[in-house]
Chain A
Amino acid sequence: MPEPLLEVHGLDAFYGDFQALFGVSMRVATGAIVAVIGANGAGKSTLLKSIAGLMDAQAEAIRFDGVAIGGGPAYRTVARGIALVPEGRRLFPSLTVEENLLIGGHGRKVAGPWSLERVYGLFPVLKQRRASAATTLSGGQQQMAAIGRALMSNPRLLLCDEISLGLAPIVIADIYASLAHIKAEGTSVILVEQDIVQAMKASDRVYCFQEGRLSLSGRPQDLTRDAIHRAYFGG
């Protein structure tokens, strides 16, 4: 097995006194799409926030490209090559669509495949709406802008938090189609998703979380419905 791009080992995470993650371990290979599934409150978003440097963590608990990065600081994350598409999209409301994309490239340190033109090529509708305020976009367009903003930093690892939440099935299909293009550029992706079917279809490997602990992992084709059901809901 080649050296993984990201290795999480025994990661704990806390919100004050509340422990959200218990000794989580996972690996992401270069160019792989990894799905993280689980019920609400299972710790999926906390995992992504920890990888992005927004949570306190032991430095050694998260290694990216051989470097211990646990605990941040968050502003270094993007220069290291990790970009987050946050839950709820969280575009900057006082910036236009194009400014939202440009600020995604603010901390860019390396050249790479993604530029403003390439992002517009991936999501042509954003080019039409480039001068609009980000808040005037539809939900699906906002999700495209949030993904485009993350791509602008030319990440080697893209963290996607619930990118299908609240969107119509036809829009979800568009968004997932774009993931194939992103993967084709050699970018690894961690996909946090509530839609299990969608996650299994898109990913090379699945990790299931339950109440802050890893309950199951494996290749999608090796996992049975029963095993996933148990890992997801407990019992």
Chain B
Amino acid sequence: MTGWLDAVIQGILLGGLYALFAAGLSLIFGVMRLVNLAHGDLIVLAAFVILTLATWLGLDPFVAALLAIPIMFVVGFALQHVLLNRTLGRDLLPPLLVTFGLSIIIQNGLLQLFSADSERLRAGSIETASIALGGGIAAGVVPLLTLLSAIAVIVILNLVFYRTPLGRAFRATSDDLEIAQLMGIEVGRIYAVAMGLALVVVTVAALYLGMRANFDPTIGPARLLYAFEAVIIGGLGSFWGTLAGGIVLGLAQTIGARIDPEWQILAGHLAFLVVLVLRPRGLFPRAVD
């Protein structure tokens, strides 16, 4: 019984990581209906930025991530402003093709710069620290921080979206592009800010990805897949739904692994398919769409 309870707790904590992967994707899709196929590779890129800063400056990964956040905001803003805004329009294919190409460019660029070796963000004793929850169950400090960070990110994104003029402009642009422009909203700039924000979230995700496991330039697409599944399970357009989607995915994986270690990944995908069959619009779909 303890084993199952442990699997549930670890699953919820793992869900925090998947929610972090997914939150940026959810934001981008919510504001501009852009499906960013390079999202996973951007997470890996952010992890290498944190690694480089930590190595060069001899910093703790948490501090390095704080430095990486403004850098990645600028990367996101520029990426959207210079490249992705040109792909948006009535046709859904150009943004898919361009972000797919971007994914390949990022992977190969990172391979050139950093080689195919596995890397890791070294954070010292906190990596292995854990808190005993009683009954022989312990939760790692880093996984706990991951989940807390995911919740904090979702709370902040909700505040930005529903309590600030910027969020109002995001929602108005998402509702009606033409009329939003007539409100004086420069849509290209709003999109660029949204992509910048998404890459800030991506950097937080990259910090925990890099501390919890090894990464190398090729692992982006698998992160993208988990992020997609979390967004779809949760329901498009809802940040809390995205958190729930991440947790459903995490739970399915750890419970699957508890049954048979080979079933971990498969169980996650099966949970995704079951949700698609039972609730095609996800668990918490937005009322208006």
Contacts and interface: CB of A to CB of B under 8 A. Distances in A.
A95 B182 contact: no
Contact of B165 (A75, A77, A106): A106
A52 to B, nearest CB: 6
A75 B176 contact: no
Given A92-B176, A93-B288, A94-B288, A77 B169 contact: no
A103 B169 contact: yes
Given A106-B183, A106-B184, A106-B185, A74 B178 contact: yes
B127 interface: no
Contact of A103 (B172, B174, B186, B187): B172
Contacts of B183: 78, 103-104, 106-107, 149, 153
A94 B182 contact: no
Given A102-B165, A103-B169, A106-B169, A95 B185 contact: no
Interface residues of B, number: 20
A90 B176 CA distance: 8
A198 to B, nearest CB: 24
Contacts of B181: 54, 73-75, 77
Interface string A76-103: 1111000110100010111100010011
Interface string B21-39: 0000000000000000000
Interface in B177-196: 178-187
Interface residues of A, number: 27
Given A102-B165, A102-B168, A94 B174 contact: yes
Contacts of B165: 102, 106
A86 B180 CA distance: 12
B175 interface: yes
Contacts of A115: none
B184 A75 contact: yes
Nearest to B177: A74
A135 interface: yes
Closest 3 CB pairs of A and B: A107-B184, A74-B181, A78-B184
22 contacts: A52-B182, A54-B178, A54-B181, A74-B178, A74-B182, A75-B186, A75-B187, A76-B184, A77-B181, A77-B182, A84-B182, A86-B179, A90-B176, A90-B179, A92-B175, A93-B175, A94-B172, A95-B171, A95-B175, A99-B168, A103-B168, A107-B184
